[in-house]
Structure 1
Amino acid sequence: MAKDFEKHDLSSPSLEGSPGENTLREPLAESRYHDTDVFGHEDDHEIVYKTLSWQLVAVLMVAEIVSNGMLSLPSSLAVVGLVPGIVLIVFLGVFGLFTSWILIQFKLRHPEVHNMGDAGMILFGPFGRELLSAGTIIFAVFATGGQLLAGQIALGSLSNGKLCLMLYTGIFAIPTLIFSLPRTLDKLSWLSVPSVFSILIAGIVGMVGAGISFPVASISVTVNTSFVTAFISVTNPVFAYAGHFMFFILISEMKHPTHAMRAAWVLQTFATVFYVVFAVVLYIYVGPTVASPAFSSLPEKWQKAAYGIAIPNFLIAGSLYSHTAAKLLFVRFFRKSRHLYSNTVLGWGVWIFLVFIMNAAAFVLAVGVPIFNYLIGIAASLFASWYTYGIAGAFWLYDAYMYKGGREAWKRNWPMTGLSIATLAAGAFICVAGTYVTIKQIVDAYKSHLVASPFSC
């Protein structure tokens, strides 16, 4: 396997470039990129992966990231206050754009990187590959389960809870499985278009419902609270941006990977603006008692309307997560094999099996583990904190050291060196603090007898 991860210095990508810059010179650099990337030149392939435009990648990114995570943001403002909440959401959006740029630069230098596991192989060897691959799969499966729970809440709201909650989850799991079956992301990208519209319209409906149903509430500009309570609320916006673990996989299926930064700009701009507006409006009208998810604070008719409209987004986001987990293993098994790009019985059989396993695992966890909501927080703290924030610093430090002159490069580019170290520190802090407060929540839930039994209604 080691030969698959040789260091490719494409010469033209620049560490000093600004976000959004086209850092591969045409046409030679992009030609060399396709010589060494995971799917290679696809002229004679039956299954063609590299079909995505940057616009469709932007849609996929928005559909994946801007989902049920935003519904917890108004409650975060209720805990920390209006101004700190807005500052935090905006800061994390800018921070996410910065780490997106570093990840994309790293991908352009290392075309053979298909997922975080491949990046781990370059940085840390076989142990890094296994650790980051496992983390990607675990987080993707847990995120799929989170979308199943969001679908459960939506269906329960629409039907006034007439069925067992486990049945709602099962009903929602079936289309999630079906939508994750396409082998290539371009099929899911077109499904993601209505997904993006659904969460956008659902958010607007929720804001209109809050504005019509409630007077302006008594809100706080800042709130004094304990570290644990405050950090619990801080994790909501942190993990509302947690989608970078998919970026390598998405870029690997682009026609022109040098355009990836355009998609990142669209994602972070849309997410940040939408998050701020949604969180502020819901908090201003509902007030400090706003629930998480926020739609549950609305009057019944508005709640049903918002949840009903958001269902396509919950479905597609869950499908994207389970697709990602299956795709990582599928490429790992069949890299450089005809089963990767041909319609073979073995290839399709393994693919369908992997998709089924990922969705089944998400369903079993969602309905069978009473503390699953908390476990999502732990998985996000352990892995998403690094994939979205921390590990980007390691990517820049590695490439600067390898391709720009070792430690002297770190000294010459001391602003980026400092930012990269700070990024690593931020990832470590979110990881440790997020894990700690989530474990404390679990302990408190058991003490308060708030934990239900497995597979209960």
Structure 2
Amino acid sequence: MAEKDHLESAALDILPIENDPSAQQDDGEVFKSGAAEGNFRTLGWIPAAVILMKLCFATGVLAIPSAMVVVGYVPGIILLIVFGAVTTYYAYVMYDFRMRFSGVHNIADAAAVMAGPIARDVTGALFLLTWILATGSGLIGMATGLKVLSDGKVCTVIYAVVAAICTALAASIRTLGKLAILTWIGFACIFTAVFIIVVGVTQVDRPAAAPKTGNYDLNFIALGTPGFVAGLTATINLFAGYGSTPTFMPVIAEMARPKDFRKSLLTSQAFLAACYVAFGMVVYAYCGQYVASPSLSSAGGTLGKVAYGIAIPGLIMTSTLWVHVAAKFLLVRILRNSEHLQSNSRIHWITWLGSTFGITAISFVIAESIPFFSYLIGLIGSLCCAPTCLVIPAFMGLYIQKGEPASFRKIALTILHWVVIIVGTFFTVAGTYTTVQSIIDAYALGTDRAMSDLVRLITARAFVRPHTSVDLPTGSTASNYQQALWRSGGRGAGIVDMQSQNLRKCRTIPGQPDH
């Protein structure tokens, strides 16, 4: 009875399903089956699996090869497999949690069950921030692709506006069931584009970013030796490839049979892990330190244009899904338990369209403010995905175990949950700090602020002694410079900014002179 009172205090009408009479009639879901004006629950498990894959297989996959440049391929493969297993397990925990409580639609509702309305509001704000930032990264990817296709003849801000308009219009399709066919097309496009790059980099004489003449070194290494900042940022970039698992809960809410989610989850996550390892390894093996970020530019020339041309519909659909689930969160939050939630009323459509276009507009502003693709992915992974993919689901696991009798399984899972909470908290605090500092340093180096050509930059952090200067010949890369700095035995934070494979500018931070 005390638990029931606590749940009612969250003002969400969330109850354990076995104690909720209405749940016996319509399985306790927010969206009711067979609604006359708006039936949201039409997804089968196969379309749901494709949506889950498309939510993850997007801008995150484009950052994997450049992350392997930093950590090496052995840690890269291990981290991809471990992150895949952990996020799959905690996605199942989220599914298990929402199936135990009537009315849980998203991770903010779950937080309300565990800790009340304040936790709901904080978690909901974090959920929205996650997908606003993610959509911003998608707009950067789309604008970069359009710029590549046009040879840079039009301002990239215009391309970003076009991408934002397309995203908002597509995201305004009201149900995931109706978006399913577009999701199939989008997934096929982004997968084909990635496959073109994987095949393309194996067919060229040298990477597009490598020196045009003379010998070159790919620096293809099994184990990297990055500094703390570079290593943590790369690790979080690898983790971000699986960072969409909190969006799986709203997808379950639109499945005709929510219990089929387990099949969708295992299918999508197994496919993702296989693609991430294969794609990352092949591109890194053939491009080495000359891999581009986003990696669709790694093949260069005509292949790069073909890949971007095919990928753009896929990138649009990714941003569309991110805006859609964020807007659906707002729709449920505002209209929950009202007659307008599944109706065609004016209030419903004003709320829905205001949410989709409003979220897209904010994402556009962020894309213009933080035009650094890898750093934005890192910021999403640390500030947003770590708490929502790891920390909060681990607390959900602990909450589910309350009242269970002591056993070896319970002890083992409790240890796992607390380890994940600690790791997720570390990712959140340390990762956010290092990523924000990297963005500040990138601005200090004079990188363009509006949708910059970072696709042609290789940025690395090293530890150098203040006022340390290392002279390298034309054609040297950021990795060469980092190794030389390590040999010099320096300390302190340093940045190398490489453009067109020429050492353009290097300087120690903060406040050290250019060299």
TM (norm. structure 2) is 0.80
Structure 1 equivalent of residue 10 of structure 2: 2
Deviation per CA, 1:55-109: give whole Å up to 9, x if none. 1111111111101211111111111111111111111111111111111111111
- Residue 291 (str. 1) matches residue 299 (str. 2): no
Alpha carbons 1:410, 1:417 under 8 Å: kept? no
Shift of 1:303: 0.5
- Residue 427 (str. 1) matches residue 391 (str. 2): no
- Partner Cα distance (1:52, 1:111) in 2: 20
- Partner Cα distance (2:203, 2:239) in 1: 30
Structure 2 equivalent of residue 179 of structure 1: 170
Structure 1 equivalent of residue 180 of structure 2: 189
Alpha carbons 1:400, 1:409 under 8 Å: kept? no
Structure 2 equivalent of residue 210 of structure 1: 201
Structure 2 equivalent of residue 360 of structure 1: 361
SS class of match (1:413): helix
Structure 1 residues 352, 9: closer, same or farther in 2, change over 3 A?
closer
Structure 2 equivalent of residue 105 of structure 1: 96
Higher helix residue share: 1
The one-letter amino acid of 1:274's match is: C
Alpha carbons 1:51, 1:254 under 8 Å: kept? yes
Structure 1 residues 227, 3: closer, same or farther in 2, change over 3 A?
closer
- Partner Cα distance (2:280, 2:171) in 1: 30
1:446 to 443, 446, 467: 443
The one-letter amino acid of 1:242's match is: G
Alpha carbons 2:70, 2:224 under 8 Å: kept? yes
Higher strand residue share: 2
Alpha carbons 1:195, 1:313 under 8 Å: kept? yes
Alignment of 1:26-425 (within 5 A): 32=24, 34-40=26-32, 42-214=33-205, 217-369=218-370, 374=375, 377-401=378-402, 404-405=403-404, 408-409=405-406, 413-425=410-422
Shift of 1:449: 2.3
The one-letter amino acid of 1:174's match is: I
Q: Which has the larger radius of gyration?
A: 2
Deviation per CA, 1:394-429: give whole Å up to 9, x if none. 01111111xx44xx4477611111111112122112
The one-letter amino acid of 2:129's match is: I
Structure 1 residues 170, 53: closer, same or farther in 2, change over 3 A?
same
Shift of 1:373: 6.6
Identify the structure with bigger relative contact order (alpha carbons < 8 Å, sequence gap 6+): 1
Alpha carbons 2:240, 2:380 under 8 Å: kept? no
Structure 1 residues 298, 122: closer, same or farther in 2, change over 3 A?
same
Structure 1 equivalent of residue 462 of structure 2: none
Alpha carbons 1:103, 1:395 under 8 Å: kept? yes
Question: Between Structure 1 and Structure 2, how many residues are aligned?
Answer: 436
Alpha carbons 1:75, 1:290 under 8 Å: kept? yes
Deviation per CA, 1:220-244: give whole Å up to 9, x if none. 1112121111111111111111101
Alpha carbons 1:53, 1:256 under 8 Å: kept? yes
Deviation per CA, 1:352-392: give whole Å up to 9, x if none. 11111111111122124556874553343122112112222
Alpha carbons 2:128, 2:326 under 8 Å: kept? yes
The one-letter amino acid of 1:222's match is: L
- Partner Cα distance (2:282, 2:105) in 1: 39
Alpha carbons 2:63, 2:374 under 8 Å: kept? no
Structure 2 equivalent of residue 21 of structure 1: none
- Partner Cα distance (1:375, 1:204) in 2: 24
Alpha carbons 2:30, 2:105 under 8 Å: kept? yes
Deviation per CA, 1:92-128: give whole Å up to 9, x if none. 1111111111111111112311112111111111111
SS class of match (1:212): coil
- Partner Cα distance (1:182, 1:409) in 2: 48
Alpha carbons 1:81, 1:222 under 8 Å: kept? yes
- Partner Cα distance (1:29, 1:101) in 2: 25
- Partner Cα distance (1:145, 1:273) in 2: 27
SS class of match (1:213): coil
**Aligned-CA RMSD value:** 2.5
- Partner Cα distance (2:36, 2:407) in 1: 42
- Partner Cα distance (2:22, 2:88) in 1: 23
The one-letter amino acid of 1:449's match is: G
Structure 1 equivalent of residue 459 of structure 2: none
SS class of match (1:128): helix
- Partner Cα distance (2:285, 2:127) in 1: 37
- Partner Cα distance (2:415, 2:22) in 1: 30
